[in-house]
A and B are shown apart, each in its own frame.
Chain A
Amino acid sequence: MPEHAHIVTSFEDELRSLDNRIAEMGGLAERLVDQSFEALDKRDTRLAELAIASDLAIDRHEREVESQAIAMIGRRQPMALDLRHITTAIKVAGDLERVGDLAKNIAKRALAVANEPRPKQLMGGIGHMTEIAQRQLKDVLDAYAMRDAEKAEAVWRNDGLIDALYNSLFRELLTYMMEDPRNIGLCTHLLFAAKNLERIGDHATNIAETTYFLVTGAQLAEDRPKGDTTSSTAITDRTSS
C-alpha cells in the first residue's frame, strides 16, 4: 500500500532527498567495486587511482546523510515509519561508506600487484566473488529503494554463497603459496582482496537487515548461518590436499 503524503510538504521533500542521496551513494559504491576489480584484473593503475579518488565522494555523502538525518530528528521529532526511515538512512549510509572503503582497498592492492603475474584461475575466482558481491549489493539497494522486505530477506539468506567462495579461494591461495614462496606477495594481496569482497557481502546483508526493519518494524531475529570458516582453519602442510 503506498504511503500517504505528509501534511508538511517540506518534511516529505527532506525524506525524499535523503533517499536520493542514499541511491546516489549506492550507485557510486557499485561503480567503485566494479572499477576496483577491473583495475586489479587488468593491472590498470590509472583506473585504480580513479577508484581510490572516487571513494572521497562516498565519504562526503555519508557525512551529509548523517548531518541531514540528525537535523531532521532534531527538528521534526519523527515517529514510526519516519523515524525508521531516518535512522536506517544513517545505518545504510554507514554500510555504503564501508563498502567504498573496502573497494578502495582492493584498488590499492591493484597498484601493489601491478607488475606481478596474472594467474588466470585465481583471478577467475575473485571475478566470480566480485560478481556475486555486486549482485548482492544491487539487489539490496533495490530492496531498500523499493521498500521490499521479501527481497531484502532473500539477499540476507544468499550471503552464504560469497562465504563459500571465499573459503575455497582461501584454500586455493594457500596452495599457490606453498607451491612456490615467490607467489606469497601476490597471493597475500589477492587474499585480502577476496576478504574485502566477502566483507562487502556482509555489508550488503547488514543493509538487508536494516531494510527489513525499515519496512516491517521488526528485526530479522534469527542468526544468519555463518559461512566464513577461514578464521578457524588451521594451516598445516596438509592443507594443500
Chain B
Amino acid sequence: MSEKISPFHIALLVYMIELDVTFFSLPRLIAENIGTNGWIGLIGLSLIAGLNIVLIQLVYRFAKGRTVYEIMERAIPKWIMYPVYVLLAVFWVMLGSFVAKKFVLIFQIISFQTAPSMFLYSLIAVMALYLLTKGIYNISKAVTIFFFFLIPVAFLAVYFIPEWEPIRFTTFLFREAAEGHSFRNWLEVYTIFTGYELVLLLFPYADRSKKIFKGVYIGHFLLTSMYLLLTAVCFGFYSLGQLQSLMYPVIDLLSYIELPFINRIENLILTLFLFANLVSLTMFLWAALTALKRLFPKPKKNALEIGLVVLSALIAIYPKITRDSEALLRAALYAETGLAFAVPILLLLLLAWQNRPKGGRSA
C-alpha cells in the first residue's frame, strides 16, 4: 500500500464508480422525470453533485490527512460507532449488490434468458473478490484499463448523425414529464451520479502531494459530458414519447447500429458494461471493507473480503425480477444520496469543533 493513487486515476475511479447500470435507462429516466430538454436539467443536477464534491473537498482540507473514521472516532465514542460501521458496511454491500444484480437482470433480457441469474451474479462476484483482494491501488490500475475498454463506445455516437434532428428537442423546457415535477422525480435522476462520495474513503490512499480533487472534478465532469452526449444523441434520435416508452433506450440505440462486420453490437457493449458495474460493486464492497477494518484491524488474510462477497451474493438472491430489483436499487440509491450529503456536513461540523481555537491561547 506504499503507492498512492494519482489524481488521474482518481478521476477514472470516480468516473467508473458513477457509471453503472443506470446508464441504460438514463435517457428514459430523464425523459420521464424531467421531460423535454432534460439535458439542461442534467447539467443542473451535475452541478449539485459538484457542490457535494465541494463539501467533500472541504472535509479533505480540514481533515489534514486524517481519515474519515479517525475524525468520527475522535468525537464519538467507539461503542456507538461500531454498530454504525456494521450498518454502513451492510448498506454498502446491499447497494453494490443491487447494482450488480440489476445489471444481471438487464443482461438477461438480451441473452441467457433462462440461465439462473445467481449464477451470472456469482461470476461478477468472483471477479469483484479477485479485485478486492488486490487492494485499492491495484483496483485503480484495473479500473484504468476497464475505462479504456469502455470509452470507445462514445465514438459510436457518430453513427447517429444522419438520423439526428435537433427539431426533436422541441423548444419547451422541462415539459411533458410523465408525473409532473417533484423532488422525488428529480432525485431519481440525480441518483445516476451516486458514487463520487466514496472519495471520502480514498483520502488515505491518495497522493497528498498532488491535487486529488482536481481528479475528482475531472472524473465527474467526464461522466457528465458522457451522459450529456448520450442524452443529446437520444433526444435528437428518439421522439420524447418514444423515449418515455422504451425501457432501456440505450439498448435500442445500440441495436440500430449496423457495422459492416458486425450487427447488434448491444450484445457486446452491454456485456462490456459488466466492467462498469463490476467497478461499482467492487468499490462499494471496498467501502464496506474499510468500515469493517475499523472493527477488525487485523483480519485473517482475505477473510473479510470473502465474507463481504458471500454476503453480497446472499443479498443479491433477494431481488428476483426486474421490477423488485429496480425498486430496491432506487431506495438504496436514495439513501446513498442522503449519506453523500449528510456525512460531509456532519464531518465538517465535527472538524469545526475539533479544530476550534483552544481558548485563544495558541493565537
Do A and B pair up? The answer is: no
